[in-house]
Copies of this chain bind each other. A is one copy, B any other.
């Protein structure tokens, strides 16, 4: 079984860095990431450049990236206008930010959660009316907790997910944008999500703020998740969530997955080599990751793409402790 590693560095990473990476360097970086085997890259954001000057070149970046064979190009869009621009540029997928925490949503996009769901519905209608093939995704942010609200109702997260599916969103995932999630919760919530949404259940976007990023990845995999977001060199975070740092590092994630027998299609050496472009274009910017320092293990072998992945175990609810049906 394959796991799709969705690379968010060019959007989620770069938007947290004040400097603007030159367009030409971004294009080289994205090509190098694709050449390492990454099949999906979130290349930019159509938030207005007055808010995110680092993302001003989104159209050019998308137009360039969609020429890369075999690459799924993803872009963040905050609203209808952004969606129009992204689709005009040829993005394969657009992702709309929406948070389960109303306080966070208000701070981020200045709408209530309900208003955001309506806005997403409008984007889906726009997509449909245009006869476009662009997929619409949502990663529900603050799904596991919020720096402002604290605990976020899991029932509410699921309610939002179901409503988003109904208004036409193709894939709804859960996002731990502030590094609040714990593995028991991640497992529980993704199991519910998959149970509620079936094929519309999306991926996991996990942060490493308290060191729990890869621990939550294990839990997400156990729950059946097959798409995991990560950022090369671990840059990224949410500017509206105080104290939050750290997307999980793509290099460390890929090594973890491959060592577990999960095929990602990614060449770790080529992936690590791509960091050089980042280092050159953003001199002095901290680049994180354990695997680039430590290397792979002696005897490391990539997962065999032909082998099926056996998840950790079946959900407990189906059996009693002796293994007989409950």
Q: How far is the CB of A52 from chain B (nearest CB, A)?
A: 25
A184 to B151, CA, bound (A): 31
B325 near A218: Cβ-Cβ < 8 Å: no
Residue-by-residue, is A202-229 near B (CB-CB < 8 Å gives 1, otherwise 0)?
Answer: 0000001111101101110010000000
Residue-by-residue, is A177-199 near B (CB-CB < 8 Å gives 1, otherwise 0)?
Answer: 00110111101000000000000
B151 near A299: Cβ-Cβ < 8 Å: yes
Best-surrounded residue of A312, A317, A321 (most CB of chain B within 10 A): A312
A322 to B298, CA, bound (A): 39
In the complex, A243 has a CB within 8 A of chain B? yes
Copies held by the complex = 2
B319 near A261: Cβ-Cβ < 8 Å: no
Contacts of A315 in B (CB 8 A): 313, 323
A182 to B219, CA, bound (A): 14
In the complex, A22 has a CB within 8 A of chain B? no
Q: Which of A37-45, A70-78, A286-294 contacts B (4 or more CB under 8 A)?
A: A286-294
In the complex, A311 has a CB within 8 A of chain B? yes
Please tell me which one of the listed residues B149, B217, B310 contacts residue A215 in the complex, with CB atoms under 8 A apart: B217
Q: How far is the CB of A77 from chain B (nearest CB, A)?
A: 29
- A positions within 8 Å CB-CB of B: 145-151, 179-180, 182-185, 187, 208-212, 214-215, 217-219, 222, 243, 245, 249, 252, 255-256, 259-261, 289-291, 294-295, 297-299, 310-319, 321-326
Ranked nearest first, the 4 interchain pairs of A and B with the lowest CB-CB distance are A318-B323, A150-B299, A313-B313, A182-B259
